[in-house]
Copies of this chain bind each other. A is one copy, B any other.
Amino acid sequence: MKIVIIGGVAGGASCAARARRLNEQAEILLIERGPFVSFANCGLPYYVGDVIREESKLLVASPELFRQRFNIEVRTGHEAIAILPAERKIEVRELSSGQSYQVEYDALVLAPGASPLRPPLPGLDREGVFALRTMPDARAIRDFITSRQAKRAVVVGGGFIGLEMAENLVQRGLEVSLVEMLPQVMPPFDPEMASLIAERMRSKGVRLLLGQALASVEADLTVRTREGLELPTDLVIVALGVRPETALARSAGLELGERGGIRVNDQMRTSDPHIWAVGDAVEVQDIVTGRWGLLALAGPAQRQGRVAAATICGREARFRGVQGTAIVGLFGLAAGCTGTSERTLRQAGRDDFSVVALHPGHHAGYYPGARPISIKLIFRSEDGLILGAQAVGEEAVDKRIDVISMAIQKKATVFDLEECELCYAPQFGSAKDPVNMAGMIAANVVRGDLSLARWEEIGEEAGLVLDVREPSEFERGHLPGALNLPLGQLRSRLGELPGDRKLLVYCQVGQRAYYAARLLVQHGFSPALLSGGYRTWLDRTAANEDSLVVK
C-alpha cells in the first residue's frame, strides 16, 4: 500500500506518523511545498516577538527524523500541482528545478492547510506588507523590522493572529495600531467579553481602531481605511483570517462545502473514496450547533490526521466534530472560549437559551493574589444543556474553559457543573470553584428559582432597576435610574418598593442580587437578575461605546 500525503504540518504530519504506527509495511510519502515539515505554526507570532529566540525551536520534526524514526519519505520544496483521481496519481513539481513528475497512490491525504486572506485591495503587494503563516513569513518580518529599524506597525485584523502579532510587536518596542472592521476584536467572543480584551490592549498602548476597513496601502506604507483614516507606518501585517487551500481538491472534482472547504465525512474521507482530507482545508461540523464551518486550529487538525490514518489502515475511527475551544494570551490577560457564543445563537434565530455572567476570583479570596475571571455561560433554558462558555482574566482562565469543554463534549448540563468536584486548595481554587458558581447560578435559572432580566429592559417603563449594593458602592457609579436599597436593609424596607413593577436587581457581580431576588420573590415581588451585575454593565457599556464609535 502506498499512502501519499500532501502537506506536512499539523494534520499531515500527524497522519503520516500515525499511519506508520498502524502499518509498518506501507510506503508513506509526505509532499510539502514549503521548506519545513511539522513546524510550530502557533509559535510564529512569538518568534517575531523574540519571545521564542531560536528558529530551530519551532521545528518540531525534521525530514531526517521522519525518515529515521518512521521510515517516511519527506519531500520538502515539492508542490503537488494536480490530482488525477481516475489514475490514482498526483502530479508533483520540484520547485528548485521546476521539473514535474507523477506519483501513484493507493490512499491520498490532502492536508494543504489554509492561506492568509488577501483581499484585492491596492498596495497589499508592497514590500513591508506581510502576512504570517509560515516560517519564511516570520523570518521576513523579523528581518524587515531589524533592517528597516521599523518603529511603527499597523496590524489589520483583530482575530487571534492579529492580536498576537500586536502584542509581539509591542513587545519588540514598536508603536502598534490595530485596524478591525467589526466593532469588536476576537469574533468568537461576544462583545462584552471582547471589550475586556480591547481594554487591556489599549492600556498597553495599542491604538485600537474598530469599525475601520482596510482600503489600501500607499507607497510610503500609509494604511488608508474606507472610513477615511490615514495611518502612516513602517510595517503592515495583514491578518484577516485564512481561506482553505482547495485549488487541488477543486480541480480534482472533489466536493466542497458551502463555506468553501473540502467536504469530508466523519472518517475524513472526501467524495472520492481514495482521497482523504484533514486540517484547515476541510469543513468541520460543530457538535453544539450541528453546523458545518471552517476552524483553523491545530488540535482538531491532529485528531483528523489520526482518524484519516486509522481509516486508511483499515481501522474503525470517527472524527467527533469540533467545539471551537480556543484561547489567546495577551499582555498578561487570557481569553478562552468553548462551544458556541450568544451572537452565533441569536444569528441563528434561536431563543431557547439563557446566559449567566459572573466575575469570581480565580482562587479563594482569602489567599493573596486572587484575580477576577469574567465568565459567561450559555445553556439551553429547558434542561440546562451547556452550549458554550467564554472567560477572560489573568489567571487560570484556561482551566475553567477546559473543564467546561470536557463537560460540553460529554453533553453535560449546568447541574453537572453545579456538582463537579474540582481541585481546591486556596492557591488553586475555591470550595465553590468558579465553574461550580457558574453552574449554580445557571441551575437556579433552569429550576425556576431565579429569573434573568434582559439588559435591554433597563429604562423600560415596566421595570424598576434595584441596586442592592452598599451606598458607598452606589455612589461610585450605578445604572441609570437605579434605586439603591442595600441587601442588608432589604427585609426591613420592602415597603419602599412598588408592588406592581418588575424589579431588575443587580449588585457588583451578582451574588448579593441573587440573594435579594430570592428574598423578594418569596415576598411576592417579581425580581429578575441583571446577570453579572455592575461589572458586566461596565463591560457592556464599553462594548456599546466601541460599537457607537463604529456607527
Contact = CB atoms under 8 A, between A and B. Distances in A.
Interface stretch (A123-131, A219-227, A402-410): A402-410
A493 interface: no
Interface string A388-408: 000000001011011101110
A452 to B, nearest CB: 16
Nearest to A326: B423
A410 to B, nearest CB: 4
A519 interface: yes
Interface in A422-442: 422-429, 431-433, 435-436
A182 interface: no
Contacts of A487: 68-69
A58 B403 CA distance: 28
A70 interface: yes
Interface string A306-328: 00000000000000101111111
Nearest to A70: B515
A99 to B, nearest CB: 31
**Most-contacted residue by chain B among A70, A299, A429 (CB, 10 A):** A299
Contact of A410 (B328, B329, B412): B412
A367 B52 contact: yes
Given A71-B491, A338-B421, A424-B299, A416 B410 contact: yes
Contact of A421 (B58, B69, B160, B405): B405
**Most-contacted residue by chain B among A399, A429, A432, A523 (CB, 10 A):** A399
Contact of A427 (B22, B329, B399, B436): B329
Contacts of A514: 21
**What is the size category of the interface that chain A forms with chain B?**
35 or more
B68 A522 contact: no
A7 interface: no
User: Copies of this chain, how many?
Assistant: 2
A428 B120 CA distance: 36
A482 interface: no
**Most-contacted residue by chain B among A160, A406, A449 (CB, 10 A):** A406
A423 B402 contact: yes
Given A366-B52, A402-B399, A21 B518 contact: yes
7 contacts: A68-B488, A69-B487, A301-B431, A326-B425, A327-B428, A406-B412, A409-B421
Interface of A: 10, 20-25, 40, 42-43, 46, 51-52, 57-58, 60, 65, 68-71, 160, 164, 297-303, 320, 322-329, 334, 336, 338, 364-368, 396, 398-399, 401-403, 405-407, 409-410, 412, 416, 419-429, 431-433, 435-436, 449, 487-488, 491, 512, 514-515, 518-519, 522-523
Given A327-B425, A406-B422, 9 more contacts: A21-B514, A42-B425, A46-B426, A60-B366, A69-B487, A299-B433, A301-B431, A403-B403, A406-B420
The 9 closest A-B pairs by CB, nearest first: A24-B522, A410-B410, A298-B431, A327-B423, A68-B488, A399-B399, A21-B518, A398-B423, A406-B406
